[in-house]
Homo-oligomer: A and B are copies of this chain.
């Protein structure tokens, strides 16, 4: 029996308890030396992944995490009703080409590095309403394809400013199903808060953390308000790729409004690498929160280490054209509350 799902503010409550019953992650060689190395399903020795171009390698990672998530749930591809995916490449070609490998419907989404939380949010909405039984949410990124699309050809060997982050090579995905099929397995998606676009006028494309922090703050505080919760109700408030600087700005912005999240805030970008000189502020890219969530975090939740997490990935909605035309960087953050 379907129960009515009320919404409040920007938050939708899922009364029929959609669940993430499996997840999968693939990460690049550099990423495999960090925290997710021992949790990822596949770690690449060579980031070309046997393909002829970086873009094809990115697409292959995405396609393979989708297959893996389905397989790990104990399902067949014919059991899946929907794929929700997007990525950072122009016209989200990784997602569209990965979707070509499967015989189920595909809804393309885009919110830059917030794509993981947007696709989980939409998947939970679909499953909760009974529109579909099983949906896969997935995204990824590749350092080399992002670098040459957004910044400079790798061959130039450009130096990076200290506020820069390093685009993660990796993909992550999960399978969302309804309570009946989950059979008490998995992580509940309790509610989701839809983000709105925030633009604080940051124009430095090497300082995404500063641009995205206000969007994260807006969505996280909207979530507290809509759900009547406060920071201490969560074991972890997990952002996507604010990096070290952006995380400090987020903590400042929320503290100013009376929310102290310093105890339980973790940023996927900050923890994904053993930060050495090259990555400066940590990791970024749609694959950053996708790999950390779908390997390390969901695994720890499964083991009962974390009971309640607010996952709020953030996206910087710029393009090289908008920056070239002098525009600032509009950002967004979508959030989902996960519980075991």
Answer yes or no: A5 CB below 8 A from chain B CBs. yes
Decide: A55 and B86 in contact? CB cutoff 8 A: no
Decide: B6 and A107 in contact? CB cutoff 8 A: no
Answer yes or no: A318 CB below 8 A from chain B CBs. yes
A4 contacts which of B97, B130, B199 (Cβ < 8 Å)?
A: B130
A317 contacts which of B91, B131, B199, B317 (Cβ < 8 Å)?
A: B91
Count chain A residues whose beta carbon lies closer than 8 angstroms to a beta carbon of B: 61
Assembled-state Cα–Cα distance A223/B132 (Å): 16
A321 contacts which of B55, B118, B129 (Cβ < 8 Å)?
A: B55
A90 contacts which of B12, B55, B91, B197 (Cβ < 8 Å)?
A: B91
Contact of A97 with B330 at beta-carbon distance under 8 Å, contacts A5-B129, A110-B108 already known = yes
Assembled-state Cα–Cα distance A39/B138 (Å): 41
Contact of A322 with B93 at beta-carbon distance under 8 Å, contacts A7-B132, A106-B197, A125-B129 already known = yes
Assembled-state Cα–Cα distance A320/B308 (Å): 43
Answer yes or no: A111 CB below 8 A from chain B CBs. yes
Instruction: Provide a sorted-by-A list of 28 A–B residue pairs whose CB atoms are within 8 angstroms.
Output: A7-B81, A7-B131, A52-B325, A53-B325, A55-B322, A56-B325, A82-B194, A89-B319, A90-B90, A91-B110, A91-B317, A93-B321, A93-B322, A97-B322, A99-B196, A100-B199, A103-B196, A104-B196, A106-B195, A106-B196, A106-B197, A106-B332, A107-B334, A109-B109, A109-B110, A122-B122, A125-B125, A149-B321
